[in-house]
Structure 1
Amino acid sequence: MPETMRMDHAITYGYRSAGPFHPPAVDGFHSHLQYEIYYFHEGICTYIIGEHSYHLRPGDVLLMHGRTLHRPHPEPDHPYVRSTLHFDPTLLHEYIRPEHIGGLLLPFEQSGNRRISLSREEQPELEQLLAQLAVLPLEEQGNVSFRFILKLCELLSMLASRCQEEQKDSSRAGKELYVQHILDYIETCYMHEITLEQIAEHLHLSRAYITSLFKEWTGMTIFKYLYHRRISQARLLLHYQRELSITEISRLSGFKQLPHFSRVFKEIVGCSPESYRSRSFSAPNVQSH
């Protein structure tokens, strides 16, 4: 079959093209109205899309809406093997129910341009779909082949699912980072008065969001964690700073009121600060051998 199949300007497919890159413009940058799926099989190549530069490795997929100026920079004297599929997204409306189209095109329309780096385990499935597209007729009775469209939708569905997984991972990583910032803030300021407003303002987030996020990730409220951190510090001071009074330890641990400190200490530790210190004094010294 020919290396490149074309159906007017609705769909163009080049499977495992290995020829040199012939830029359509003097500087190599170009744009188009079609969406583009670019798969990098082999070689050394840097791909520029707008202000982003991607150093490609085999198994990388680029999803582009096409309007942003882009161009590859393949390394000369090295193989440059790629598959490229350009398609007019309005084509799907002629073949696919409207409620299914949004999900298939979401990776192009949500972020515009993106790279997906497939693992070695993921690459065979996508490469098989590309190979299956290459043996299907592009045209049937003057129209785009329905079989080609169905296989294209299978490819789009796979890529959309992969993008959703990445988005979930990214969202999870972002949430985890916010929780870590909350923990860092508490670690820095636990000995001082802390309010939800202060933490929210520090992170530029809402009180409601940091409250629900912290509970989701740690299983406890921010203030419960704060009290545990303060009591942990108090236990260290009671054990190692025996010259300090209970009132001083309360203050250094972040409690403004001694009765509040004593009540929280007993709730968490199970005894009063005085009893805890007495036990520490009476505990036998451990000899090292």
Structure 2
Amino acid sequence: MLQHLKLPSQLDGNVWRYANPAGANRLHRHAELELNVVTQGKGTYLLGGRRYEIRRGDLLWLFPAQEHVLVEQTSKFEMWIAVFRRRAIRRQATDAGAKALLQPSFSGEVCRRLSHQDLDRFEAFFEDLSSSQGEYGLMNAGLGYILLHAWKCFQHAADVPVRELHPAVERAVRMLAHDVSEDGLAELAHRAGLSTSRLSRLFKQQTGLTLVDFRNRKRIERFQQIYDLNRNRTLLDAALEAGFGSYPQFHRVCRQILGCSPAEYARRTLP
């Protein structure tokens, strides 16, 4: 899913702190280049047919053509996120070694582990820059520095272990992400090219989630998208369109994933 980031027109990008939210993350991509620097906890990214298990100190690049989703995170997971418009990258990435930042995707590994010293510097700089919201000149200068300094550090950082996803698991992830109404695991396995038992076992091993859990997370994401865009709809209407078969099923899954009832979610997220 192509996600449109709401960036002020005067800015070359933006930075913000991400903490484990009360919600589910979507499989998505966007036109901007994204940088993640993990500062606390652990998480699991699915990205380009690979699984990255990330922790404090990991630096991760997410290129515009690469769909990605953070499928697991510990309760105290936190990271800094920076995004960069293409116009800013063209202006800043003038050295031959930085031209790779202009690519829509990256063929090598996109995650590496920073030294403690580099991580401390990034944390301090992100803190300073995030307090400069509204000062467009300062923000843009800071974003340019982060872009180039992060790429320089990335070149010398240690590799992070990565696991290739089985092609059938990757196909199942994409099918479930785009068709949350799919109920039949046998049909899903057939379309993915494996038996139901084989796909179920591989999916759990490689993503950390069961097929049912992953599908339910995608349905919750879809519900949030539908309901948050149109608060005139009832919770039941939004849940049914998101792929849930009944309100009791939706209520149970909502509590499991969001930690609250649908009515509580509606109250918490009032505009």
Higher RCO (Cα < 8 Å, 6 or more apart) = 2
TM-score (norm 2): 0.48
Which one has a bigger Cα radius of gyration? 1
TM-score (norm 1): 0.45
